[in-house]
């Protein structure tokens, strides 16, 4: 049984990471900064300068911003935040924009000079907006995580200032306490009333957007294509529902999702395969909740070492988490789940993130498949061993190796991806 203070820290981590967001979180973070900019300035800026880190640019470039009438890109995210954003709602900042304001948003974007700069910054997530209107100026600076405002200025006066650290985890609960053995202990023993609200919201929100993705024409229709091509076997269903949620989300669906580690795609991927398997197996609500805790926390555990944004596709971490959660749902013990993680990581490590866009859904399907295959390998007595590529001597070392690969080894890859995308 975990010490009460460790349990409390795990619950705090879940509360920080499993939060609702409307739209892809990178354009939404830009929209949030823009809404705050208008709020501080007291009026719509007549001119805007946006200093945006490369990884934000990468993830905003090709994704549809919800509630804009189909607009894409940073200027669209800025425009909707300024014209119609509700800053107090943070990552749901543009969740309530009526269709009647779409023309106003497009008109503002067309008439307002917006300068976009990609600064030399050590932070993967860095958004600094400056706006001018009527002889006044304002600055809003978000860094490290999507809703973390570190600086607000008006007419040169600092209204808010936080220490600007280079860590994406600044101000959050220390995630170095996460390890697989404690995750399984927590999932198996925590009083569910302390986390059930978070988990039920995750199930409801993410299932709803997946249903939307399967019913209608969104993105590349990866989810519905999987079901039409391969049938409704639970393994296919697990991949299809996760992919369908991304189909809708990447193409501008206005429905909210519960994110994981800063990403809606990760939140969808860490939850829906477990939900579909639970339904197939006739699992109780308690069994589902505890399996979701495993999946969500294994995802967070991996992402803690990788960082919120990277050239390493976050869907892989969430697919591995889903595989662990599904294994747990079927009675797997520590050894089985550890090998599920190791095997799945070995299969797909190196999958790149080349921005938020419709193809994310296909990467999600592949990642869930890797998670499922990782468990099946264990059941067959076949596992990747320490020294096989980046596989370490145990699950902790393997997860740490992935963190080094993604955070350090793929920095030049990240720059190259951005160059290709913006040339």
Q: Is residue 91 part of a domain?
A: yes
Q: Which two tokens stand for residue 271?
A: 């939850």
**What pLDDT sits at residue 295?**
98
State yes or no: pLDDT of 62 exceeds 90: no
Query: pLDDT at position 170, please?
Result: 62
Query: Taking 70 as the threshold, does the pLDDT of residue 169 lie above it?
Result: no
The CA angle 387-391-396, to the nearest 5 degrees, is 125
- The answer to whether residue 27 scores a pLDDT higher than 60 is yes
Among residues 119, 123, 131, which one has the least CA distance to residue 45?
131
What are 135-167's pLDDT values in tens digits? Answer: 999 999 999 989 999 999 999 999 999 888 765
Considering the domain architecture, whether residues 273 and 415 belong to the same structural domain is answered as: yes
Q: For residues 227 and 332, state if they share a domain.
A: yes
Q: Once rounded to an integer, what is the mean pLDDT over residues 343-360? A: 91
pLDDT of residue 409: 87
5 inside domain? no
Specify the higher pLDDT residue, 294 or 58: 294
**CATH number for position 93:** 3.30.1330
228 and 133 both lie in a single domain: no
pLDDT classification of 281: cutoffs 50, 70, 90: very high
pLDDT band at 260 (very low <50, low <70, confident <90, very high): very high
Query: Residue 26's pLDDT is what?
Result: 94
> Is residue 88 within 8 Å of residue 100, measured between CB atoms?
no
Q: What pLDDT is recorded for position 110?
A: 96
* Domain-ending residue, one of 161, 191, 210: 161
For 150, the token pair is 């570190």
Report yes or no on 14 lying in a domain. no
pLDDT value, residue 415? 86
Same domain, 391 and 418: yes
**Same domain? 33 vs 58:** yes
Give whole-number Cα distances, 310 to 229, 247, 257, in Å: 32, 21, 21
Q: Is the pLDDT of residue 421 over 90?
A: no
Per the DSSP assignment, residues forming a β-bridge with 132 are 47, 137
pTM flag (> 0.85): yes
Mean pLDDT of 328-339: 97
Q: Hey, how many other C-beta atoms are within 10 angstroms of the C-beta on 392?
A: 17
pLDDT averaged over the chain? 94
* Residue 199: pLDDT over 70: yes
Residue in 108, 120, 23 with CA at minimum distance from that of residue 415:
120
Q: Average pLDDT in the 355-377 region?
A: 95
Give the least confident one: 162-166, 229-233, 354-358. Answer: 162-166
Structure tokens at 44: 């719509």
Domain with residue 218: its CATH number is 1.10.4100
At residue 112, does pLDDT exceed 60? yes
Listed residue (17, 90, 28) closest to 56, CA to CA: 28
Give the rounded percent of residues in the chain with a pLDDT score beyond 70: 99
Q: Which of 131, 161, 191 is the last residue of a domain?
A: 161
Q: Where in the sequence is the domain holding 100, given as residue range(s)?
A: 20-161
What percentage of residues in the chain have a pLDDT greater than 90? Answer: 85
- Considering the domain architecture, whether residues 243 and 96 belong to the same structural domain is answered as no
What's residue 167's pLDDT?
57
Please determine, for residue 120, whether its predicted confidence score (pLDDT) is greater than 90. no
């Amino acid at each position: 049984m975990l010490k009460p203070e460790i349990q409390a820290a795990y619950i705090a981590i879940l509360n920080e990471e499993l939060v609702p967001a409307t739209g892809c979180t990178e354009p939404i973070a830009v929209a949030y900064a823009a809404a705050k900019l208008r709020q501080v300035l007291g009026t719509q800026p007549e001119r805007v300068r946006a200093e945006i880190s490369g990884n934000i640019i990468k993830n905003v470039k090709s994704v549809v911003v919800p509630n804009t009438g189909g607009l894409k890109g940073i200027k669209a995210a800025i425009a909707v935040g300024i014209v119609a954003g509700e800053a107090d709602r943070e990552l749901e900042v543009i969740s309530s924009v009526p269709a009647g304001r779409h023309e106003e948003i497009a008109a503002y974007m067309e008439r307002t000079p917006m300068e976009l700069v990609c600064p030399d910054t050590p932070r993967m997530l860095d958004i600094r907006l400056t706006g001018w209107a009527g002889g006044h100026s304002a600055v809003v600076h978000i860094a490290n995580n999507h809703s973390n405002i570190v600086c607000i200025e008006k007419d040169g006066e600092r209204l808010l200032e936080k220490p600007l650290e280079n860590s994406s985890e600044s101000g959050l609960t220390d995630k170095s306490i996460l390890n697989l053995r404690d995750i399984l202990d927590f999932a198996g023993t925590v009083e569910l009333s302390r986390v059930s609200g978070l988990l039920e919201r995750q199930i409801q929100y993410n299932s709803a957007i997946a249903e939307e993705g399967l019913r209608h024409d969104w993105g590349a229709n990866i989810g519905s294509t999987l079901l039409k091509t391969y049938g409704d076997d639970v393994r296919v269903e697990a991949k299809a529902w996760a992919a369908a949620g991304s189909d809708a989300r990447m193409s501008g669906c206005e429905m909210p999702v519960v994110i994981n580690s800063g990403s809606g795609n990760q939140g969808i991927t860490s939850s829906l395969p477990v939900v579909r398997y639970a339904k197939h197996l006739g699992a109780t609500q308690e069994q589902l909740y505890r399996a979701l805790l495993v999946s969500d926390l294994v995802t967070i555990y991996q992402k803690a070492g990788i960082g919120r944004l990277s050239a390493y596709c976050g869907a892989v971490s969430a697919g591995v988490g889903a595989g662990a959660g599904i294994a747990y749902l079927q009675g797997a013990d520590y050894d089985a789940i550890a090998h599920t993680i190791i095997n799945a990581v070995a299969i797909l490590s190196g999958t790149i993130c080349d921005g938020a866009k419709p193809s994310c859904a296909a990467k999600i399907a592949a990642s869930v498949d890797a998670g499922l295959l990782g468990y099946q390998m264990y059941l067959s007595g076949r596992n990747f061993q320490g020294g096989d590529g980046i596989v370490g001597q145990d699950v902790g070392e393997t997860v740490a190796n992935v963190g080094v690969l993604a955070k350090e080894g793929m920095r030049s890859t990240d720059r190259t991806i951005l160059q290709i995308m913006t040339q």
